[in-house]
Amino acid sequence: MDNECQDKNNIYEGIQKCFGSLQVVETVRQSKILLVGVGGVGSEVLKNLAFSGFVNIHLVDLDTISVSNLNRQFLFRSEDVGKWKAIVAKERIEKLCPWSQVSASVDNIRSRKFPLEFFKQFVAVICALDNHKARLYVNEVCAFAQIPMFETGSTGYQGQVIPILAGSTECYSCEPKPQQQNEQIPVCTIRHRPETVEHCIVWAMYLFDVLFGNLEDSNPLSDEKDYKISYLASDSVSNSETKKTDLDEDWENMTCKRIFHKFFIEDLQSIQELKKDTFLSLSTLKIPSKEQLNNCLLNVQQKYSIEELKKEEQNPHQSVWTSEKACEVFIFCLKQLLRKWKESQSILMFDENDTISLAFVTAASTLRAEAFGIVPKNSFDVRGAAGRIIPALSTTNAVIGGVVVFQLLRFLSGSPVKDLYNARLSQVPRPRPRHQDEAIISPEVIRSPVEECIICHRLILVSCDATKVTVMQFIEDGLKGQLKLDPFSVATDSGFIIYEAEQDDQAISTASSSKIDTQTIAQLQLEEQPLSVLDDSGVNYRAWIKHQCDVALTTELIFRE
Ligand SMILES: [Zn+2]
């Protein structure tokens, strides 16, 4: 206990010396911080927050721990695999730093369980997410709540920390982001519910490594190591006392069959089973049949050649493969790779410039995409996508986790958000403003909000008792009466049209038209989520209905100039 007090006192003494005031120590002690995401960057941030003396920290994370997390998400151990990240992180940190009081929610940050009031209890939000959609959401909700948000990101050797106070600094929505090729994809997305063809390509590359490569713990399929070719080969040797050694072709066919059956039939069948009793809302999977597999085993040798596949991969206009062709090419490539492995008896590395490797990944990703109803890519495009996938590095996460907590401390010591800097980490040193030297972490002046940004300029905050106010009152008294908007339409992000201005005398044809006259906002579940309001002159607004018991309807534009 004495040691613990000593540790804590040392921390506060350090902060006092660093910032030259006792006030900062008090602020740190009392500030509630929301950390969204406890993955690679989030684990670092949480540890730094606790060891900087923060007491009240709330975690929100939706994901479970997988083997591939363990090499860099140091709060988790192998016995934690399968458990919720938020819960394990909370327990570990409270043990390490007994002065901290961490609370945790296992949930999607976009859930309506987190109303605006929930966000308002925090002094700042640190966003350590791995996907664009959730970041946009947190950016938006922090703008509605007018809470500073510290956005973090890490990709390979690059990383950034961006302090944001929408309305006074550039926000996450200000500049459209380029296609996020390098976003870390959650493991469950790769394993059980791919949403895009890129997820299928990444899965296919991991599969290549499981079978032939250097199987690292960071591979989301690393628990399939029984399917490493070296194991399968030694397995067949030990079982083959009665077999002749010259049955190479049998061994090839048997191995192909085993691998195909496991990854394209058995695994998909168990996902299909899983979706029956979980939240996975998949339509029926298209799973190849055993007959299809048997046909392929017989036919492929005469049908394909490396030269032809090579010609094909150079043609950007080639059509995507049918599942029959993908099935055949997969078996063809698998046989080629098995031979190559047998000759070299060493691991094979995926190389997008090697025709067989590329065709293997194209075929596997096509079969996977087809199964999940996703449009596959041809081998020309797969090569482009495969070359851009960048690994997550623990050192980058550690640097970003350090910089963001230091930025937070600077903010709490009295620097307004707009006087902080964006921090960029790059592999190549960049010149520092006002210095003669170069650094790998360089400060970048925070810019003002972009003129066209809806989040920074056109937010409508509505407060009312959602259980009493009808949707029509919100439209008529709020948007038309108080804000003088007319004509306009209102919709949720899921595409539900709440209201459309009447066109001439035609009655509104939306299913909601009769409901909105009589039903309350709460009955239609429209409160505590962002809504789109589009007026007929083409100006977009975002609106948020904040529920407060017994409060009269008020509507305001947040950033009124
Ligand atoms: Zn903005």
Instruction: Please name which of 74, 59, 68 lies closest in space to residue 106, comparing C-alpha atoms.
Output: 59
Q: How many angstroms from the chain centroid is the CA of residue 202?
A: 14
Question: Which residues fall within 8 angstroms of residue 17, CB to CB, at 6 or more apart?
Answer: none
**CA 169 to ligand 1 center in whole angstroms:** 8
- pTM for the model: 0.73
> Could you report the per-residue pLDDT of 517-536, keeping only the tens digit for each?
889 999 999 999 999 999 88
Q: Which of 39-53, 335-349, 525-539 has the highest mean pLDDT?
A: 39-53
User: Does 38 show up as a binding residue in the annotation?
Assistant: yes
What confidence tier does 96 reach under pLDDT thresholds 50, 70, 90?
very high
**CA 560 to ligand 1 center in whole angstroms:** 15
User: Does 61 show up as a binding residue in the annotation?
Assistant: yes
Give the DSSP H or E segment for 325: helix 323-344
Determine which of 143-147, 172-176, 293-297, 352-356 has the lowest per-residue pLDDT on average.
293-297
Is residue 188 annotated as part of the catalytic site, yes or no?
yes
Q: Which DSSP string corresponds to 51-83? A: HTT--EEEEEE-PBP-GGGTTT-TT--GGGTTS
User: Does 132 show up as a binding residue in the annotation?
Assistant: yes
User: Does 171 show up as a binding residue in the annotation?
Assistant: yes
Listed by start position, the domains of the chain span: 2-183+393-445, 187-387, 458-557
**CA 509 to ligand 1 center in whole angstroms:** 34
> Could you report the per-residue pLDDT of 6-38, keeping only the tens digit for each?
888 889 998 888 888 889 999 999 999 999 999
**CA 473 to ligand 1 center in whole angstroms:** 30
Whether residue 98 has pLDDT greater than 80: yes
Look up residue 135 and give its two tokens: 């970041």
**CA 146 to ligand 1 center in whole angstroms:** 13
> Could you report the per-residue pLDDT of 132-181, keeping only the tens digit for each?
889 999 999 999 999 999 999 998 888 999 999 988 999 999 987 665 54
User: Does 174 show up as a binding residue in the annotation?
Assistant: yes
Place of tokens 């972009």: 450
Please give the residue that has the higher pLDDT: either 469 or 186: 469
Q: Which string of b and e fits 398-419 if b means at least 16 CB within 10 Å?
A: bbbbbbbbbbbbbbbbeeebee
The arithmetic mean of pLDDT across residues 423-448, rounded, is 83
Please calculate the CA angle 92-156-45 and round it to the nearest 5 degrees: 30
The arithmetic mean of pLDDT across residues 485-504, rounded, is 84
Using a 10 angstrom Cβ sphere, with 0-12 exposed, 13-18 middle and 19 or more buried, the burial of residue 296 is: buried
Look up residue 110 and give its two tokens: 């976009």
DSSP 84: B
CATH number of 458-557: 3.10.290.20
**CA 105 to ligand 1 center in whole angstroms:** 28
CA torsion through residues 368, 373, 375, 378, sign: positive
The arithmetic mean of pLDDT across residues 386-390, rounded, is 74
- Residue 509's pLDDT is 47
Whether residue 198 has pLDDT greater than 70: yes
**CA 453 to ligand 1 center in whole angstroms:** 5
Task: Report the 10 Å Cβ neighbour count for 315.
Answer: 11
What confidence tier does 503 reach under pLDDT thresholds 50, 70, 90?
low
- Residue 181's pLDDT is 47
Q: According to the 3-state scheme, what is the secondary structure of 32-44?
A: EEEEECCCHHHHH
What is the C-alpha to C-alpha distance for residues 379 and 355, in angstroms, rounded to an integer? 9
What is the C-alpha to C-alpha distance for residues 280 and 268, in angstroms, rounded to an integer? 13
Whether residue 281 has pLDDT greater than 80: no
User: Does 71 show up as a binding residue in the annotation?
Assistant: yes
**CA 497 to ligand 1 center in whole angstroms:** 25
The arithmetic mean of pLDDT across residues 125-129, rounded, is 97
Q: What's the residue count for the chain?
A: 561
DSSP 419: G
User: Does 135 show up as a binding residue in the annotation?
Assistant: yes
Please calculate the CA angle 488-489-493 and round it to the nearest 5 degrees: 140
What confidence tier does 94 reach under pLDDT thresholds 50, 70, 90?
very high
What is the C-alpha to C-alpha distance for residues 164 and 463, in angstroms, rounded to an integer? 24
User: Does 371 show up as a binding residue in the annotation?
Assistant: no
Which member of 97, 127, 188, 296 is catalytic? 188
Whether residue 280 has pLDDT greater than 60: no
Could you tell me the CA-to-CA distances from 287 to 174, 269, 271, 331, 337 in Å, in that order? 43, 7, 11, 16, 24
What confidence tier does 287 reach under pLDDT thresholds 50, 70, 90?
confident
Please calculate the CA angle 149-493-60 and round it to the nearest 5 degrees: 40
Instruction: Please name which of 500, 483, 482 lies closest in space to residue 491, comparing C-alpha atoms.
Output: 500
DSSP 496: -
CA torsion through residues 292, 297, 302, 307, sign: positive
**CA 416 to ligand 1 center in whole angstroms:** 17
What 3-state class would DSSP assign to 262? helix
**CA 472 to ligand 1 center in whole angstroms:** 30
Q: Chain-wide mean pLDDT for the chain?
A: 87
> Could you report the per-residue pLDDT of 301-323, keeping only the tens digit for each?
778 889 999 998 888 888 999 98
**CA 143 to ligand 1 center in whole angstroms:** 9
Determine which of 26-40, 320-334, 352-366, 386-400 has the lowest per-residue pLDDT on average.
386-400
Question: Which residues fall within 8 angstroms of residue 551, CB to CB, at 6 or more apart?
Answer: 463, 464, 465
User: Does 85 show up as a binding residue in the annotation?
Assistant: yes
User: Does 456 show up as a binding residue in the annotation?
Assistant: yes
- Residue 265's pLDDT is 92
User: Does 131 show up as a binding residue in the annotation?
Assistant: yes
**CA 172 to ligand 1 center in whole angstroms:** 6
Whether residue 403 has pLDDT greater than 70: yes
Across the beta sheet with 149-155, the strand order is 101-106, 56-61, 32-36, 124-127, 149-155, 158-164, 421-431, 438-445
**CA 452 to ligand 1 center in whole angstroms:** 8
CA torsion through residues 543, 544, 550, 554, sign: negative
Task: Report the 10 Å Cβ neighbour count for 276.
Answer: 8
**CA 539 to ligand 1 center in whole angstroms:** 15
Instruction: Please name which of 428, 531, 539, 527 lies closest in space to residue 488, comparing C-alpha atoms.
Output: 539
Number of H helices, E strands in the chain: 20, 14
Q: CATH class for domain 187-387?
A: mainly alpha
User: Does 113 show up as a binding residue in the annotation?
Assistant: no
Q: Which DSSP string corresponds to 336-391? A: HHHHHHHHH-S-----TTSHHHHHHHHHHHHHHHHHTT-----HHHHHHHHHT---
Q: CATH class for domain 2-183+393-445?
A: alpha beta
Determine which of 177-181, 247-251, 372-376 has the lowest per-residue pLDDT on average.
177-181
- Residue 504's pLDDT is 46
- Residue 58's pLDDT is 98
- Residue 505's pLDDT is 41
Instruction: Kindly give the residue spans of alpha helices, DSSP state H, lying in 68-196.
Output: 85-96, 116-120, 132-145, 187-191
Whether residue 486 has pLDDT greater than 70: yes
Q: Are 203 and 190 in contact (CB under 8 A)?
A: yes
Look up residue 546 and give its two tokens: 């904040």
- Residue 506's pLDDT is 45
- Residue 72's pLDDT is 85
Q: How many CA atoms lie within 13 A of 503 on its CB side?
A: 6
Please give the residue that has the higher pLDDT: either 313 or 436: 313
Whether residue 238 has pLDDT greater than 90: no
Look up residue 522 and give its two tokens: 């709460």
User: Does 37 show up as a binding residue in the annotation?
Assistant: yes
User: Does 401 show up as a binding residue in the annotation?
Assistant: no
What confidence tier does 560 reach under pLDDT thresholds 50, 70, 90?
low
What is the C-alpha to C-alpha distance for residues 231 and 261, in angstroms, rounded to an integer? 17
